[in-house]
C-alpha cells in the first residue's frame, strides 16, 4: 500500500503517515527522531503514540520510545482519532485585534472564549483562531500564547508571532514587568484601596479549584492590588493590578477577604440583593509591556464589554 508522506506544514491528516528516518538521526532515540520529523507534536504526545502501538518501524510494531534508530528506516505513523491526541486545527473564528505587527498580536478576548483546547473544548478556542489568522505560527509553541484568561473573563491578551518574541515575553512575565490591570465588580462595600499578599495553590480537597494555601503546603506567592473606583449599595467597582499571575488569582484573593466577584460561580455565593450576572464580573482592561523588537514600552487599553457596562449601570442607577 502506498501511504502519503507528510509535507511540512500539513497538520490535517488523520490517515497513516509514511516517514523516512533521516541519516542525521542515526544513533538517536525513536521519539527524538519523530520529534524532529513532526515538530508540530510534543515529545510527550509522540511517546504516548509509540507506547500505544501507533508506530511501526520497517513494518514491525515498535512500542519503545528509547529504541535507537540508524537512519533510513521507514516509519509508519497511524495517529489516533481522539481529538485530545491530534494537533490543534486552524479555525476561522473572528478575533477582535487591538494591535498587530510582525512580532505581536494583542487581542480583546470576549467572555465565553476558551484560550487553549482542553477537556470539553477541543476546538473553537483562541488558539484555533490564532492558528488560522497567522499561517505558520504552529511552529511557535502553544501558537505563541504566553498567558491566559479564564473562559468567562474578557479582555486583553498578547500573542507572540515568533519564537524569539515568545521567549522575550515569557521572560518579562517571569520578571513581573508585564503590567496587567483588570476591572471587577466585587460583592460588598470596599471602603479603601488595599492589597492581598497571600500564596495560592490547589484547593486541598477540590482539585478543580484554587485557594489560599500556605507555601509549605504548595502555595506559590501571589500579590494583588485593588483600587476602589465606585461604590454601590451592595458591591464595589474596583481596579485590580497583578504582581504575579497565579491561576484564578483575583477571584481567589478577593473571595479570601470576603469580597468575591459578582457572578463568580466557583468562588462566589448567591446574593439575592445583587443583580444576576452570568459570569464572573472581571475584565482585563489594560496591558503594558516592553516590545520585544523595538525595546519601547507599549500599552493598550479597552473598555468594559457591554454586559459589564450594563451591570454597572444597573448598580449605579437601579
Cβ-proximal residues to 15 (8 Å cutoff; 6+ apart), any chain:
3, 4
Nearest-angstrom CA–CA distance, 153 and 130: 18
Residue 47, Ramachandran bin (φ over 0: left; ψ between -120 and 50: alpha; else beta): alpha
52 flagged as catalytic: no
Catalytic one of 58, 101, 150, 264: 150
Cβ-proximal residues to 58 (8 Å cutoff; 6+ apart), any chain:
73, 74
Residue appearing with cell numbers 460583592? 187
> What are the φ/ψ torsions at residue 293 (nearest 5 degrees)?
-100, -50
- Strand pairing class (210-212; 200-202): antiparallel
Nearest-angstrom CA–CA distance, 254 and 262: 11
Active site residues: 150
Amino acid at each position: 500500500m502506498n501511504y502519503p508522506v507528510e509535507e511540512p506544514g500539513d497538520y490535517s491528516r488523520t490517515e497513516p503517515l509514511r516517514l523516512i528516518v533521516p541519516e542525521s538521526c542515526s544513533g538517536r532515540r525513536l521519539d527524538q527522531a519523530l520529534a524532529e520529523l513532526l515538530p508540530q507534536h510534543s515529545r510527550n504526545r509522540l511517546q504516548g503514540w509509540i507506547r500505544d502501538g501507533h508506530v511501526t518501524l520497517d513494518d514491525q510494531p515498535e512500542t519503545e520510545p528509547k529504541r535507537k534508530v540508524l537512519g533510513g528506516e521507514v516509519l509508519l505513523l497511524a495517529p489516533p482519532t481522539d481529538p485530545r491526541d491530534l494537533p490543534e486545527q486552524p479555525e476561522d473564528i473572528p478575533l477582535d485585534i487591538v494591535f498587530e505587527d510582525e512580532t505581536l498580536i494583542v487581542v480583546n478576548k470576549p467572555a465565553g472564549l476558551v484560550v487553549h483546547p482542553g477537556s470539553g473544548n477541543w476546538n473553537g478556542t483562541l488558539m484555533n483562531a490564532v492558528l488560522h489568522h497567522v499561517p505558520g505560527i504552529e511552529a511557535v509553541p502553544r501558537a505563541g500564547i504566553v498567558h491566559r484568561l479564564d473562559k468567562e473573563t474578557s479582555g486583553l491578551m498578547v500573542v507572540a508571532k515568533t519564537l524569539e518574541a515568545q521567549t522575550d515575553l515569557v521572560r518579562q512575565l517571569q520578571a513581573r514587568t508585564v503590567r496587567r490591570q483588570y476591572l471587577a465588580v466585587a460583592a460588598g462595600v470596599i471602603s479603601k484601596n488595599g492589597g492581598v499578599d497571600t500564596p495560592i495553590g490547589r484547593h486541598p480537597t477540590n482539585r478543580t479549584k484554587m485557594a489560599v494555601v500556605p507555601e509549605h503546603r504548595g502555595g506559590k506567592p501571589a500579590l494583588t492590588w485593588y483600587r476602589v473606583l465606585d461604590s454601590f449599595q451592595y458591591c464595589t467597582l474596583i481596579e485590580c493590578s497583578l504582581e504575579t499571575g497565579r491561576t484564578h488569582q483575583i477571584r481567589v484573593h478577593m473571595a479570601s477577604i470576603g469580597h468575591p466577584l459578582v457572578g463568580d460561580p466557583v468562588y462566589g455565593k448567591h446574593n439575592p440583593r445583587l443583580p444576576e450576572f452570568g459570569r464572573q464580573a472581571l475584565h482585563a482592561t489594560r496591558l503594558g509591556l516592553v516590545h520585544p523588537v523595538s525595546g519601547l514600552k507599549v500599552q493598550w487599553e479597552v473598555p468594559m464589554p457591554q454586559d459589564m457596562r450594563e451591570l454597572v449601570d444597573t448598580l449605579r442607577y437601579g
